[in-house]
Chain A
Amino acid sequence: SQQGEEDPQALSIQEGENATMNCSYKTSINNLQWYRQNSGRGLVHLILIRSNEREKHSGRLRVTLDTSKKSSSLLITASRAADTASYFCATDAGGTSYGKLTFGQGTILTVHP
């Protein structure tokens, strides 16, 4: 079963604009991760944020985490056509479930040149 939902399901923007994707989850977590998937192939790890962190940056990526609302957001700044892909959040509940990721349903991002 899916852990939660991602919003929006699809996002279409112009190159240079920012893209924001949201993820909600249901149970407590050890960490939350974001992945990118191109054309139904393998997943590429983008960024991880731990449950005791509120914000994290990596290049053009900014992730926030609000554990009280059980939600996270991924911001891609100055988007490029090459950012076109599906983006998934995945939660790791830790404990006996450590390393067993639970994914959302994903956001399809299209960046138009």
Chain B
Amino acid sequence: ETGVTQSPTHLIKTRGQQVTLRCSSQSGHNTVSWYQQALGQGPQFIFQYYREEENGRGNFPPRFSGLQFPNYSSELNVNALELDDSALYLCASSLAGADTQYFGPGTRLTVL
């Protein structure tokens, strides 16, 4: 167990809807990163938050947005869901400047 939790575990949405995924960091970690993992693929970096500010973004459209809260927990929001958004969404927490990231169990999103 890494101490990183995510909710919900599974989620089913329909195309065009909006979704919010949540992540609680490991205690004391001030950096959160989000990754999308399509079936059979490796994770792809979405964005990272450090002290409530976005600190780098991967090749994802603006309908993917995030928040980090003062307690370092985080949300990933996806608007106008598309079928290709179906994936496992992973968050990872770390201390700024530390190399190792600790991943949560993921949220499985299915878009119908």
A contact residues vs B (CB 8 Å cutoff):
1-2, 31, 33, 35, 40-45, 48, 88, 90, 92, 96-97, 99-106
Contact = CB atoms under 8 A, between A and B. Distances in A.
Interface residues of B, number: 30
A48 B43 contact: no
A81 to B, nearest CB: 21
5 contacts: A1-B59, A90-B43, A99-B56, A101-B43, A103-B35
A96 B103 contact: no
B90 interface: yes
Given A42-B105, A100-B33, A48 B42 contact: no
Contact of B94 (A31, A42, A99): A99
Given A96-B56, A99-B48, A43 B43 contact: yes
